[in-house]
A and B are shown apart, each in its own frame.
Chain A
Amino acid sequence: MGSMLDLPLIWAGLIAFAVFAYVVLDGFDLGIGILFPFYPPGKARDTLMNSVAPVWDGNETWLVLGGGGLFAAFPLAYAILMPALYAPVIGMLLSLVFRGTAFEFRWRTNRGRWAWDVAFSAGSAMAALCQGIILGAILQGVPVEGRAYAGGWWDWLTPFSLLTGVSVVAGYALLGATWLVMKTEAGLQDRAYQMAWRAGAITLVAIVAVSGATPFLDGHYWERWFTFPSILATAQVPLVVAILTAALVWTLKARKERWPFLLTLAIYALCFMGLGISIFPDIVPGRVSIWEAASPPASQGFMLIGAGILIPIILTYTAYGYWVFRGKVHEAGYH
């Protein structure tokens, strides 16, 4: 099997897909948590939460697949990156504990609901920040010795990783705002448009800043992006991002309800491709390639059979779940 298929390449693609699915799906529901404080307590917040309550658990499962898939398909990368990212990973997990339980717990109390509202929004914002920091820390590189992480437990903290952290918070807020534009009506929708403008502006600045800073990090990012002839291909990425951004601005102005969300997804896809161009074919940038980190063909092949059968099924019933709960969500619930 190994001779016919490049299994590590396929698994890198599958894990990239899982991470992307996670980022956009949990991105919009984390975004709603980030926007929570900008909506008054009570019915408005109930509506926000109801718009994602039936789907958040499925969205978060992509994160388990990303982590579990990395463990299974690239155990060396998992073993190096997790200790390197110890504090932000633990911070993300604890934040997700707060915000995940808030989905159920806030309905179980009136007296304490404000506390779960705080848990939901702070948990969402912190989880997003930690995820952004994780991204930055991976991009800036981690020291490796032998088969293990060789740095300290604060190495992840740099101005660059903080920049990527804030960027992801803004980006998720934009996803959440455009989701709400699509799912809500009247006053709530007006608010969502307003939030989309603000979050969009910050996100755009953030994309430019991160893209500008990345080539100056250690590693081969500069050659990747700016040497001829590859620049002919790589230059298309920022170009398309610019076009999509213009379209996003126009659809927000024209109040095209669904388009802002779809265009934001497209911008995410482009940014994700940009990250791929920067990193590929490494999985620990500058240190370990996907082939070096790969588990043996017996492991990856065995999993590929399951993935080939199960992932299409998962996508089908996930789509079904979204379809069941399609349409606007109303102030007092769906009914």
Chain B
Amino acid sequence: MDPLILARAQFGFTVAVHIIFPVFSIGLASYLAVLETLWLKTGRDVYLQLFKYWLKIFATGFAAGVVSGLVMSYQFGTNWSVFSDKAGPVIGPLMAYEVMSAFFLEAGFLGVMLFGLERVGKRLHYMATLAVAVGTFISAFWILSANSWMQTPQGYGLNEVGQFVPLDWVAVIFNPSFPYRLVHMVLAAYLTTALAVGAVGGFHLLRDRANPASRIMFSMAMGMIAVVAPLQIFAGDAHGLNTLEHQPTKVLAMEGDFDAHPDGAPLILFGWPNMDEARVDYAIEIPKLSSLILKHDPNGALPGLKDFPRADWPVVPVVFWSFRAMVGLGFAMLALALAALWARIRGRLYDSPWLHRAAMVMGPAGFAAVVCGWVTTEVGRQPYTIYGLLRTEHSASPLASPALAVSLAAFAIVYFSVFSAGVFYMLRLMGHAPHPGESGPEVLGPVRTASQTPITEEVPHHG
């Protein structure tokens, strides 16, 4: 089999599994910081209870994020050595800054956050929680800067051995797509986490609508979604306009626009992009809407993929459909937020089982949308690793197919077994209702309570 396909499959698979965890860590770290703030401010035990409840889930997901992220930092070299040699002078320092400014901060204070409440006291523990939350954000900053540079490179030159070298670091870091991608991704992390928290809250409200902790988490989550979902749609639109300017082939693949439309492009809602015939089969379209969205003018001219060399097209059906899945999920999130808002106005937020069920159904929607969004942007960047400059086929390591086939199989087996177990444990923790006297760092000192009273199948449920 073609080693390039295997290398891409391996990288795509490992990064898609990885992204699930940091997305949740970014959002949950902030949520935990908010909960601890509320606890310290109000002194209400229910916030501490919620803090401890989500802390256990956070720790489980964080461990999975750390080890799957470690894999990524070496896979650039193992699988994309030519890319690493050429882009290392530009991309490498961004990642080094991520490690030095974010990873150490998170890792250094995670221990105190998990085990140290009794040892260091409330104030320092709160500082540790904030440090972890800030660390996750700084990490997102650098890694998205690096990714964005690969999408919209600037501020570089080429040296005599063919390496990209930095000429202007501000231009490199704040490249054209970076602000949009950063906002879009951080909002996605908050939205994803709010959906997960809302689903857990909804699940427990269905069983006991009087549980104060369940009520608080459900209310907070629905409020958060009501704020973030509309912002995210707005941010996504702005990101799309930016992409049209800098990576037209990606947007045209998202839209399924093979032909140029000099006087207004229709919006293709559904259809099957047929790359051989360069048209969308069975298209259902709304006239002029695509130009209205992308140009803010129904008669605005839009190019088509046919204006670009065939060899520079991404795989259109993948980009087209992953984009639709993401947008569809985004609007479903908005619908949930509006429904919850309506229930809240009528004073029925905690007494609407249909709403709690809807929140549960939408629990995984954020994760799915994040993966779809990354598929859209990464497959949409193809056939390049550095858009317009370095083709994927010229980026790979000189490895033979058997090496790659074996490692891909090993990754698949290990990731499916280990991370499914992790997700299972997280779901089981979520299945227990939050209750007063929630186990956590404070009660039994710095070592997790679990060493004495593990949350396991043997422990009776005391919700």
Chain A CB within 8 A of B463 CB: no
Residues of B within 8 A of A97 (CB): 67-68, 71, 414-415, 418
> Interface segment, B230-238, B242-250, B286-294, B398-406?
B398-406
Produce 1/0 per residue, B50-89, CB < 8 A to A: 0000000001101110111111011011100110111111
Residues of A in contact with B, size category? 35 or more
Residues of B within 8 Å of A94, CB to CB, are 71, 410-411, 414
Contacts of B118 in A (CB 8 A): 335
The listed residue (B167, B398, B410, B448) touching A298 by CB distance below 8 A is: B167
Contacts of A79 in B (CB 8 A): 77, 81-82, 84-85, 88
Find out whether the CB atom of A105 lies under 8 angstroms from the CB atom of B421: yes
Q: How many A-B residue pairs have CB under 8 A?
A: 289
Interface assignment of A76: CB less than 8 Å from any CB of chain B = yes
Cα separation A213 to B63 with both chains bound (whole Å): 39
Name A275-327 residues within 8 Å CB distance of B. Answer: 295-296, 298-299, 302-303, 306-307, 310-311, 314, 317-318, 320-321, 324-325
Q: Are A61 and B64 in contact (CB under 8 A)?
A: no
Q: Choose one: B81, B109, B452, B454; the contact of A82 (CB below 8 Å).
A: B81
A170 to B10 Cα, complex, angstroms: 33
Q: How many angstroms from the CA of A263 to the CA of B447 in the assembled complex?
A: 28
- Chain B residues with CB under 8 Å of A112's CB are 421
**Is A55 within 8 A of B445, CB to CB?**
no
Chain B residues with CB below 8 A from A78, complex form:
76-77, 81, 84-85, 88
> Which chain B positions have C-beta within 8 A of A87?
403, 407
Min Cβ gap B138→A in Å is 11
Is A219 interfacial (CB-CB < 8 Å)?
A: no
Report chain B residues within 8 Å CB of A107: 448, 450-451, 454
Q: Which of A86, A303, A306 contacts B399 (CB 8 A)?
A: A86
Q: Give A51 Cβ to nearest chain B Cβ, in Å.
A: 10
B432-462 CB contact bits vs A (8 Å, 1 = yes)? Answer: 0000000000001111101110111110000
A108 engages B115 (CB within 8 Å): no
CA distance A196 to B2 in the complex (A): 49
Instruction: Write out, one digit per residue, whether chain B residues 376-404 have a CB within 8 A of any chain A CB (1) or not (0).
Output: 00000000000000000000011110110
25 A-B residue pairs with Cβ-Cβ distance under 8 Å, sorted by A, are: A54-B112, A55-B111, A57-B107, A67-B74, A67-B77, A75-B84, A75-B88, A78-B84, A85-B78, A86-B397, A86-B407, A94-B414, A101-B64, A105-B422, A107-B448, A108-B450, A108-B455, A110-B457, A153-B399, A295-B163, A299-B165, A325-B111, A325-B115, A334-B447, A335-B118
For the A-B complex with A80-B81, A109-B454 known, give 10 more contacts whose Cβ atoms are closer than 8 Å: A58-B104, A60-B107, A64-B69, A97-B418, A105-B60, A111-B456, A298-B89, A299-B165, A303-B97, A317-B104
Q: Which 10 A-B pairs have the closest CB atoms?
A: A75-B88, A72-B92, A82-B77, A54-B111, A335-B445, A333-B447, A107-B450, A79-B85, A100-B67, A295-B89
What residues of chain B have their CB less than 8 Å away from a CB belonging to chain A? 59-60, 62-64, 66-71, 73-74, 76-78, 81-82, 84-93, 95-101, 103-112, 114-116, 118-120, 159, 161, 163, 165-167, 169, 397-400, 402-403, 407, 410-411, 414-415, 418-419, 421-422, 425, 428-429, 444-448, 450-452, 454-458
